[in-house]
Amino acid sequence: MFQKPEEREHLSLMLSEVLDDICINERMVKKRRKVVMLIETMSNMAWKSKGDNFSLYCLGSQSEGTTTPGLQSDTDMVYCNNEYNIIQDMSEWERGKVNYLMIQDVNTSPGYCFLQLFDVNTPLPITVNPDANHIVDRRGRILRKNTLETENFQNITQHGPSLAMEGQQGFSDTDRVIAYPCKSWPKLASCWLERQDKCRWPTQRMGTASGGCFVVPTGSKVSVNPELEWRISTSLTERCLMFDSNITQLRCYFLMKMVLKSCLNPRGEINISSFMCKTVLLHTIESTEPSFWKESNLTECLRRCFMELHSCVQKEYLSHFIIRENNLMAGQFTDETKHQLLENISDFIQNDVQCLLTINRDNLGQRLQVKLNLVRQGEYSFDSSLEMSEHLSAELYVNFARQVSSNHRVLLKDLHDKDTRTLKQSVETLLTYRESGNKLEKNAYKFLAPFLFSTYGSALASADICLNNQISPQAFVWLSSGLDSDVSSGRLKLASAFYSEGDMKRTELILRQTERQYNSCPLFHICRCCCKCPERPTVEFKKVCNEQSLDCVKQMTADCVIFTQQEVKCIPQELQYELFRSTQDDMLLHREEKEDYWMDWVVVDSLPFIYFLQYKIYRRLQRYQDTQHALCKLIRTIEEDKDIAHKETALNILGQCLEQEHRPKLALKCYLLSLRQRPRNNVANDHICRLLSGMLVGK
């Protein structure tokens, strides 16, 4: 079947069309890469603005654009601790940093090293063991163990150097890898750089683009010192190589992973990894002419890669593409597993078409059967190419909006005092990217900065109101700079400041504009506080995401409104109670430090806050009919809107509104419903005590 050259060419073209339909195409690859690189850049900007000395790198299939929902690829995140400095000779030693000398000798596996601890103040090795993270070897060297502490992350399982985190519903799982940076190129890979002058691919420019490497805490499977070895990682260079690959090469890698997960690994064991497939692909690209990699030759490209993989398994030797002495298959599988793998790979090489036709992930096999007219049209039902593109675009944009929200919270996380100096420093650091940042940094700046500007402006306005009950021009400028953060939260911060100042006219105007905008476009609600299952994007939302650039995120997402303690005078009185939601027992027994930091703030969903503020200003303006209309909208929103993340807060402010309407029994019902939503860390307990006390006194 499909053995003649013209038949194989036809099959390749049909297979390429199928991959285009499931969004393994240049457009979606570019879109995915842009979003992931912006997330990486924005996270690094947030950490630097906060003063943290970490760098984040998003690697693997998500950043390369070689994944689909059917592959269920993890998100690979490398957290690089820049407090450490990995050196290869003494000229790289830095005062004030924790310096480790990279040691590679007969006792280390190829591609791995030991880390010898050096003094912070002088370029001399430490001679006294400082703690349990180090050991003294027979030569008296203080070496760092690779058993890193994992308490920095929640819900973690250790997998080699990575810390695997189970994704919440609607999110991909995340492999978080802790790494230490080495600014220089690994000496073991110096011969690879020298080869680039003689090779057509990769070029020397690509080889040096990353400018260094990492060490990650894992030892070789065949090491005699597994707890001491650190793997030398050239992940950034590998990412550059994948970014330079053409669409046929990327499709070939995608298909290798599809076949791997569907046909190759016996009994579901991970004997051949995606990284091995990538390495095989890179070796194959290097050894073939560029003209080989074209759409009409896709099936031959795939077979060539699997022939290379078969040879590697047979020899039990797969050379790392950059550090050639590192055998990726050393100690990887037993004789029985090897025999089964060789049989499976041989079967695919001989019957590749039949295997491809049976792959169920993303309906790949079914789609190919339809393209080849092997089944009747309409026999299978699956999403069209447009539907796939719209779904993936929406998924990317929503994930990006969530990451913007998360990074805003990173900047606010440690603001516990009433002083705005820390906040000001973060703003000033962030502003430097507007003037001197690179293209990615300037692009990330325009998404992240408005959120922080709103908070800073609100904090300044709070200080102004406390001082003379009037918002200063400086605070107004910062609040105005945050108006386009998203559809609603920046505007509502300004409206709340005007309300607290007593300017009902401008408050009403902003609320009317915000409500109009809120209801005029397809929206997705963003909240990074709770583990609430995310809503499904609407058809209209997906369509806009597919057709427009990432800038549309600002006009189609609504984040929660966050008030920190620095903004207390800009928070309506009914919401100020939320700053004191936790009792002493709650603080000690029912809060997770890493997850529940937001409980020190006031956090309220945008739509209930709009109607609450409307109720308050109309009541103050004595416009009874408008007051009741706003109250009805608040009640209806709480009852009908399933996307409210902080329903307990919405019920608490509704209860206080009902108290002001002299309807204490309904107010009590609201507080009880609030406790049903969140039994602990809920100020509804105080509201109930206060209300019951008042009712008893009234009797």
pLDDT digits (tens, 9 = 90+) for 348-400: 999 999 999 999 999 999 999 999 999 887 788 899 999 999 999 999 999 99
* Residue 545 near residue 393 (C-beta atoms within 8 A): yes
Q: Is 643's pLDDT higher than 90?
A: no
Residue 277: closest CA among 249, 255, 256: 256
Q: What is the 3-state secondary structure (H, E, C) of 589-624?
A: HCCCCCCCHHHHCEEECHHHHHHHHHHHHHHHCCCH
- Give the up-direction half-sphere exposure of residue 261: CA atoms within 13 A in the CB hemisphere: 16
Residue 36: closest CA among 184, 167, 174: 174
H helices of 413-438, in order, are: 421-436
Spatial distance between the Cα atoms of 587 and 591, rounded to a whole number of angstroms: 6
Q: Is 6's pLDDT higher than 50?
A: yes
Supply 300's token pair. Answer: 């031959």
Q: Is 300's pLDDT higher than 90?
A: yes
Q: Is 418's pLDDT higher than 70?
A: no
Where do the domains of the chain lie, and which CATH numbers do they carry?
Answer: 83-242 (no CATH), 572-699 (1.25.40)
Q: Mean pLDDT across the stretch 419-436?
A: 91
Task: State residue 694's pLDDT score.
Answer: 83
State pLDDT tens for residues 473-514: 999 999 999 999 999 999 999 999 999 999 999 999 999 999
* DSSP, residue by residue, 123-134: SSB--S--STTE
Q: What is the 3-state secondary structure (H, E, C) of 281-336?
A: HHHHHHHCCHHHCCHHHHHHHHHHHHHHHHHHHHHCCCECCCCCCCECCCCCCCHH
Task: State residue 531's pLDDT score.
Answer: 59
Q: Is 204's pLDDT higher than 90?
A: no
**Partners of 214 in the β-ladder:** 181, 233
Task: State residue 697's pLDDT score.
Answer: 74
Backbone φ and ψ for 26, nearest 5 degrees, come out as -60, -40
State pLDDT tens for residues 253-270: 999 999 998 888 756 667
Spatial distance between the Cα atoms of 9 and 297, rounded to a whole number of angstroms: 6
Spatial distance between the Cα atoms of 442 and 151, rounded to a whole number of angstroms: 34
Task: State residue 595's pLDDT score.
Answer: 87
Supply 426's token pair. Answer: 């973060």
Burial class (CB in 10 A: 0-12, 13-18, 19+), 685: middle
Spatial distance between the Cα atoms of 257 and 253, rounded to a whole number of angstroms: 6
Is the C-alpha dihedral spanning 288, 293, 296, 301 positive or negative?
positive
Q: Which residues make Cβ contacts (< 8 Å) with residue 192, sequence separation at least 6? A: 207, 322, 323, 324
* DSSP, residue by residue, 112-159: EEEEEEB-SSSSSB--S--STTEEE-TTS-EEE-S----TTSSSEEEE
Supply 94's token pair. Answer: 């830095």
- Ranked by mean pLDDT, the top range of 45-54, 585-594, 620-629 is 620-629
Task: State residue 163's pLDDT score.
Answer: 36
Q: Is 437's pLDDT higher than 90?
A: yes
Quick one: what percent of the chain has pLDDT higher than 70? 92
* Residue 668 near residue 688 (C-beta atoms within 8 A): yes
Counting DSSP H helices and E strands in the chain, the numbers are: 27, 16
The interaxial angle of helices 489-501 and 504-518, nearest 10 deg, is: 160
* Residue 504 near residue 617 (C-beta atoms within 8 A): yes
How confident is the prediction for the chain on average, in pLDDT? Answer: 90
Supply 114's token pair. Answer: 């030991």
Task: State residue 171's pLDDT score.
Answer: 40
Task: State residue 534's pLDDT score.
Answer: 59
Spatial distance between the Cα atoms of 654 and 644, rounded to a whole number of angstroms: 14
Q: Is 593's pLDDT higher than 60?
A: yes
Q: Mean pLDDT across the stretch 668-697?
A: 93
Which residues of 527-656 form beta strands (DSSP E)? 557-559, 561-563, 602-604
Residue 185: closest CA among 269, 86, 106, 251: 86
Residue 616: closest CA among 579, 657, 652: 657
Spatial distance between the Cα atoms of 577 and 573, rounded to a whole number of angstroms: 7
Ranges 30-39, 161-170, 285-294, 428-437: which has the least confidence: 161-170
Phi-psi region of 147 (alpha: psi -120 to 50; beta: other; left: phi over 0): beta
Query: Computed over its alpha carbons, how large is the radius of gyration of the chain?
Result: 29
Q: Is 170's pLDDT higher than 50?
A: no
Cis-peptide, bond into residue 202, ω within 30° of zero: yes
* Residue 544 near residue 650 (C-beta atoms within 8 A): no
Spatial distance between the Cα atoms of 236 and 216, rounded to a whole number of angstroms: 13
Per 3-state DSSP, the chain is made up of helix, strand and coil in percentages (nearest 5) of 55, 10, 35
Q: Mean pLDDT across the stretch 235-245?
A: 93
Spatial distance between the Cα atoms of 44 and 438, rounded to a whole number of angstroms: 13
Task: State residue 519's pLDDT score.
Answer: 87
